[in-house]
Amino acid sequence: MNDDEFLFVADDDEPESNEIGYWKVLIVDDEPEVHAITKLALNDFTLNGRALTFMSAFDGEEAKRVLREHSDIAVVLLDVVMESDDAGLKVADYIRNDLENHFTRIILRTGQPGQAPEKDVIINYDINDYKSKTELTAQKLFTVIIAALRSYRDIIVIEEARAGLEKIIDASADLFSSRSLEGFMRGLIQQLASILGGAKNAAYITSAVALPKPVSQAGEMYIFAGNGEYAGKEGYRLKDSLNEFEYRLCQDALREQQVVYAEELLVAYCRSEKNHGSLLFLTGLPRPVNDIDKRLVQKFTENVQLAFDNLLDSAEMNETHHEIVQRLGDAMDSRETDEYHAQRLNHMSELFARLAGMPEAEIQQYLTALPLHNVGNSFVPYSLLNKDAPLTDEEFHQIQKHAEFGYRIFKDSKRPVIRLAAQLARHHHERWDGKGYPDGLAGNDISLQSRMLAILDAYDALRNKRSYKPAWSLEETVETLKNAAGKQFDPALIDLFLKHVDRFEGIQNQYAG
């Protein structure tokens, strides 16, 4: 028998489905013989070391169900005429438009080409090939499947690359949080996996640098970011996460400072000028690594740690700036308040800003500028700030100047955070009714941040001991704030604050002075 003949014999011994080792092919046809012939003709088919596993549907509705349950079908061999003259066309439309699946390759097969003219079908439906059953011999079927699977394989690799780039873009919006660093690295290793044809089984990076918890032993390696079966294992010791063979390969790569290859996996050493190197470890490679792949991996590893080191340097610089600002603010506040006032104010401000629906970027700016709002106190004599007797009019006027003093320190900056610090310093004693100082602003002319700060400053002062008064009870404090709504404070913000006062009390209790 030559290649252009079919054997009408059913194949009962098809391989079990395996997402790593097989390409999924869905046969949709109302004739059982077509299913048997197709399986027989493609029985010994392989591409990139992967055989075919077949799924069957005998009408359009059954095909739709199978497609809903399996999103990774590579090829659909689809009969046009089944329970209706256009049943197959409806399935093709369902795949592309209802399921929004543009990856699966669709090959239409028909025994009655006149009922669905090829030109009309190609124009009106997003299919990839159209064949008459009489012309689709064993050899031609083999050729068609080869072309469809190669197309599907390449589309999936491109999609993996797109997904990796999307992760990097998402992470780049906020590179200085540890979560964002992990997201950035996940994107990078997904990019590397796509270069190698899509290593979906496991791909992760290990590093003892900038882990979320301290390293317990010098030289110990930990998982920093992972995907596949290593997703969610950030902070795990490398030794506890791999089998003995895999761990030995990692040690070899680290000792020899190079890329180590084995069957279906690779370990790549990433050199660092500032820290001991990291490792990229990928398993479940879909095909043998060739010379082009090795050059790409080498180039990738030469640059990835440099980028990571730069991110860590930026994160360290950012954290240092935050700490300097916080410590300066603490020093100013400690001249008139207890040592925990700044911590309470910071946590309460973050809570209040989120409750008020402030955008995340504005919240971070607000929290950075917040510790500087009382920097003008440095110009006020300590004896006045902590006087336990009533202040004279002159003394009170002198204390009021701290708002102007603080504003002058920051007012000429072009940096958004410093400009916000200037605004907070000047306006945190303005009143909703316009009777505050120094500018007599009223209502929404006062910034949201200054209005929130005024409430929190007053609440914290009332609930804690000061040189001029004992701590007030919660009941007394709540009553005072209610009475000041619409006068001293924004009434809507007071309502929001009191609705969640238990959460603010929790912060008070956690950082009691």
Fold for domain 22-155? Rossmann fold (3.40.50)
What proportion of the chain, given as a percentage, has pLDDT over 70? 67
**What pLDDT is attached to residue 389?**
62
Residue 317 burial (C-beta neighbours within 10 Å; 0-12, 13-18, 19+): exposed
Q: What is the pLDDT of residues 370-385, one digit of tens each?
A: 888 777 565 555 555 5
CATH of 334-510, one of 3.90.1150.10, 1.10.1200.10, 1.10.3210.10, 3.40.50.700: 1.10.3210.10
- pTM summary value: 0.46
Query: Which CATH number is associated with domain 174-307?
Result: 3.30.450.40
> Residue 404, Cβ neighbours under 10 Å: how many?
16
SS3 472: coil
Instruction: Compare 234 and 449 and report the one with higher pLDDT.
Output: 449
Q: Which whole number is the average pLDDT over 276-300?
A: 73
Q: Find the helix or strand (DSSP H, E) in which 75 lies.
A: strand 75-79
- In this predicted structure, what is the pLDDT of residue 350? 95
Instruction: Over range 106-126, report the average pLDDT.
Output: 73
Average pLDDT over residues 141-151: 93
Q: What's the rounded mean pLDDT across residues 486-495?
A: 96
Q: Please give the pLDDT value at position 201.
A: 46
R_g of the chain computed on alpha carbons: 34
Asked if the model's pLDDT at residue 393 lies above 80, the reply is: no
Q: Read off the amino acid at residue 246.
A: E
**Residues 280/225, Cβ–Cβ less than 8 Å:** no
Q: For position 317, what pLDDT does the model report?
A: 61
The domains spanning 22-155 and 334-510 adopt the same CATH topology: no
- The string of pLDDT tens digits covering residues 14-42 is 433 334 468 999 999 999 999 999 999 99
Tens-digit pLDDT profile for residues 419-464? 888 888 889 889 999 999 899 999 999 999 999 999 999 999 899 9
- CA end-to-end distance (rounded Å), the chain: 93
Buried b / exposed e over 242-262, threshold 16 CB at 10 Å, is beeebbebbbebbeeeebbbe
Domain boundaries, the chain: 22-155, 174-307, 334-510
Whether omega before 438 lies within 30 degrees of 0, making that bond cis, reads yes
Average pLDDT over residues 388-392: 65
Strand partners of residue 105: 75
